[in-house]
Structure 1
Amino acid sequence: MTLPSGVAYREFDGEERLATRGEPVYGEPTAEGWRAWDARRSKLGAMYERGMDPGLQDGDRVLYLGAANGTTASHVADVARVVYAVEFAARPMRDLVDVAATRDSLVPFLKDARKPASYGHVVEADLDVVVQDVATRGQARVACANRRFLADDGRLAAVIKARSEDTVRDPEAVFEDALDDLRTEYRVLETKRLDPFHADHLAVVAEPR
């Protein structure tokens, strides 16, 4: 895996940790312009820690679905040229707007990722990466609905949260069904569980069909 130049492992208090260059957001350790990227607070960060390549490169144009309060989106914005950050809930959106005030590349939208037509007139097409971190049923279908924004050579970096789909069903069965849905629009390149950082989460890297 080759990391973008804006992502690296740096030393914080004697420990090598994943980091990006940028202003701190959530009280994370900083050193010489780098800020630690806490994988326990970020599924995308956990993907890097698990050795996956989500496809993010310097200067990319990114659609981030399920941006919440902007913890991970802020790290992506340290690397990307523009991050269209979609969040449905009003409370975390207030935090996301505050984070966006410190990063010109981060553009927040109070929208429902299940309804891409509601932001399709603003978000450009042929994006380099779609990051999906929504907590709802039908997560794979959300990724498929937002395929319209992704370039043919782009990448999907998605996280399937088993307990958001079904609180009692076996996670492996949930993951298999989600992958079947994803394969209607994507070729799955890599999958990994995100333990020990996030229980019952499956990370997926895919490319458009």
Structure 2
Amino acid sequence: MSEHLPDGVERHAFGGDGDGTDRLATRGEPVYGEPTDDEWRAWDPSRSKLGAMLELEMQTDLAGDDTVLYLGAASGTTVSHVADFAGPTYAVEFAARPARDLLEAAASRSQLFPLLADARKPDTYAHVVESDVDIIVQDVATRGQARVALENRRFLADDGRLLLAVKARSEDVTRDPSAVFDDVREELEAEYEVLETKSLERYHADHLGIVARPL
């Protein structure tokens, strides 16, 4: 089976991990204590929903030099890897504490632009984020995850992609995750065509990866 890895993401063997397995990696300054080998830094899918989507060979259509809007950047674990190979990368994070770590991750990445903002309120950063971004990556722990994707649809190019990690327990901890996933997908279909879905259970409990394109 062929892999769908973006330019700038490769498999690399890191010494000292004990099992000799090649791991996803990008070139850049380390951020969170990840294994490194010269300029390479390991991308751990158990700490990254997008990394899990790549490990599971979802067809993300991510490419080198893409313009990316990343919703739910937290302290920069995943978005720093994205900025290692992508073009302008706008990283939206609402909480002040992880945003401070995100600023540190951006210090060595001139194309990474941290935004202290709420992904549910895109009007607050619409004056900064360029229109027609190639990729929206969404990893937010909140109710209304489909609504966040719909509200941020305005930034996505007509041929762009939404890469969404749905957290069932953030929507409703009392419901069966599969029912939550069905509801999110149905709501998304108002403005997106869902191209692929895949459980991220191997790396993240009660998560579903979705690849979609705007209608």
Structure 1 stretches of 4+ with a deviation exceeding 4 A read none
Alpha-carbon distance in 2 for matches of 1:157, 1:186: 11
1:140 corresponds in structure 2 to 146
**Residue by residue, what CA displacement relative to the aligned partner does 1:70-121 show, whole Å, maximum 9, x if unpaired?**
0000000001111100001111101001111111111001100001011001
- Aligned residues of 1:55 and 1:157 also touching (Cα < 8 A): no
1:8 corresponds in structure 2 to 10
Shift of 1:166: 0.4
**What TM-score does the superposition give when structure 2 sets the normalisation length?**
0.95
1:64 corresponds in structure 2 to 70
3-state SS of paired residue (1:59): coil
Question: Can you give the 5+ residue segments of structure 2 that lack an aligned partner in the other structure?
Answer: none
Question: Can you give the 5+ residue segments of structure 1 that lack an aligned partner in the other structure?
Answer: none
Matched, 1:181 2:181: no
2:173 corresponds in structure 1 to 167
What is the aligned length?
A: 209
* Percent of residue pairs identical: 65
1:101 corresponds in structure 2 to 107
**Residue by residue, what CA displacement relative to the aligned partner does 1:25-54 show, whole Å, maximum 9, x if unpaired?**
111111232110011110000001111122
Alpha-carbon distance in 1 for matches of 2:169, 2:6: 32
Alpha-carbon distance in 2 for matches of 1:55, 1:166: 30
Alpha-carbon distance in 1 for matches of 2:5, 2:36: 19
1:85 corresponds in structure 2 to 91
Shift of 1:162: 0.2
1:24 corresponds in structure 2 to 30
Alpha-carbon distance in 2 for matches of 1:2, 1:88: 31
3-state SS of paired residue (2:186): helix
- Aligned residues of 2:4 and 2:58 also touching (Cα < 8 A): no
Matched, 1:45 2:51: yes
Shift of 1:2: 3.2
For 1:157, the aligned partner's letter is L
Shift of 1:196: 1.6
**Residue by residue, what CA displacement relative to the aligned partner does 1:123-172 show, whole Å, maximum 9, x if unpaired?**
10000000000000000110010000000000000011000000110000
Cα RMSD over matched residues? 0.8
